[in-house]
Structure 1
């Protein structure tokens, strides 16, 4: 579906249209939540085929997104005005196949003036938009299950036939990109009959050698990956907000969990709910 401006929309300086079925299902933003409606966190994942805003007033953009997702939105206009943003601030955006939360993030990011970013927080069925500075005054504690990011891939040996070359995941390293934390594989290549992992030849190793090897310490490996993950988050997501860098945020490991206390903006960038 394409989003095209109509003559009426041009008069309003807004060019936006959404799937009629989606709006019909949502019932409009002015209605209160109804039983059986997906939670707001799910509605924010609504994928929009195409969205076009052309010099649209920010208030109209917010209203359009709120109507589509059937989420109540409150904008702290008084706070936004302190950083030079008001209801009539024009928004121009063309986006395809993005989730609603991504569209909202792009809009707010484009309005960042002089290092004064805007942010949003989801509290049950209310989406609050204000300055990142105001959110920075609020501290929230969340627990993240990161066991899947601590999985052991280094001990997995590739299988191959003689005379062939295969690629395999030699290790993984945590990365932070586009507001999300994940794993980036480190790819290795092995040729049968050649060397593997810096001079190791699988055909030269006898059964006794394999039997005498000490089993890897999974605890040490997981602890190392946990440290790498924590470093990636602290250095990649609002570095100045963490206590180790002079801020207020803390991040503590507990088994395969991370207990993080920081502002809603930080939790939003990590990818966790802020409600």
Structure 2
């Protein structure tokens, strides 16, 4: 097994522990070459190499989780640690229940989506609807208002809100939403969406409210979170 870290976080200060973990995943570039290595050994090496607090939810006699017998075959060169972690997670999930990662209480959690999305792991976040229109990409409502300089009717507002909710539940972790049989909820209150969901769902909707801790001698990187496909752009 080979892990090579080419960037390391050197800042010593009091920061949001989740920001520190996220910074380790975003700003450390790693090379890995493994063939049929136990997933538990690979994740332990990644955890120790990055200095992360990491919790992996493995299957036990009493609880569901990732299969402890799963092995990893993976070769990557000079990739952000988050990309490596996601490629590992892709190999330890189940066909009907994929694995992912999330940040919670200063810990990087790795496990099946059904496990990470339990009610006890969810948090309620409010999203101003006008902000989400830009994220989801629905500009027609805004363009219409700018051109006509008229206020939308209540019915028009409700149509747009319903369309936005439909897009989110269709494009972001479809099976996780209550209307699709999952445990996550999304409701509208005074033109604000109230979303109760785990971290791995929230980051795909609005990103993180904090910046990842960045080494002082490294340029800022642009990050886009998707379903098991975090994109990191080096500047």
Greater shift after overlay, 51-60 or 34-43?
34-43
Confirm or deny that 1:121 pairs with 2:102: yes
User: Aligned partners of 1:231, 1:247: CA distance in 2, in Å?
Assistant: 15
In the TM superposition, 1:1-275 aligns within 5 A as 14-19=1-6, 22=8, 25=10, 35-37=13-15, 39-45=17-23, 46-55=26-35, 56-79=37-60, 85-86=67-68, 89-94=71-76, 96-98=78-80, 100-138=81-119, 139-150=122-133, 182-183=136-137, 215-218=149-152, 223-255=158-190, 257-270=192-205, 272=207
Give the structure-2-normalised TM-score. 0.63
Deviations 1:193-237 (A, max 9, x none): xxxxxxxxxxxxxxxxxxxx9632256666554333211111122
How far the C-alpha of 1:22 sits from its partner, in A, is 0.7
Q: Which residue of 1 aligns with 2:212?
A: none
Structure 1 gap segments, 5+ residues each: 1-13, 27-33, 152-180, 187-212
Cα RMSD (Å): 3.8
Number of residue pairs matched by the alignment: 197
Query: d(CA) in 1 for partners of 2:191 and 2:113?
Result: 30
**Contact map agreement 2:56 2:110 (CA 8 A) in 1:** yes
State the distance in 2 between where 1:42 and 1:184 align: 33
The answer to which structure, 1 or 2, has the higher relative contact order (CA under 8 A, 6+ apart) is 2
Paired with 1:260 and 1:91, the residues of 2 have a C-alpha distance of: 37
CA distance in 1, matches of 2:203, 2:83: 11
TM-score (norm 1): 0.55
Residue 4 of structure 1: aligned partner:
none
Q: How far did residue 134 of structure 1 move?
A: 2.0
Q: CA separation in 1, counterparts of 2:83 and 2:191?
A: 28
Deviations 1:164-184 (CA, angstroms, capped at 9, x unpaired): xxxxxxxxxxxxxxxxx6427
- 1:17 is displaced (CA, Å) by 0.4
**1:76-126 deviations in whole A, cap 9, x for unaligned?**
22359956622662241426544x334322321232232231233322222
Q: Quickly say closer, same or farther: Cα 1:95–1:182, change in 2 above 3 A.
A: farther
Displacement of 1:265 after TM fit?
A: 4.4
Moved more, 106-115 or 79-88: 79-88
Larger radius of gyration: 1
Change (3 A) 1:35 1:106: same
Change (3 A) 1:40 1:112: same
Contact persistence 2:97–2:114 (CA under 8 A): yes
Q: Say if 1:95 and 1:103, in contact at 8 Å, map to a contact too.
A: no
Equivalent-residue separation in structure 1 for 2:176 and 2:130 (angstroms)? 25
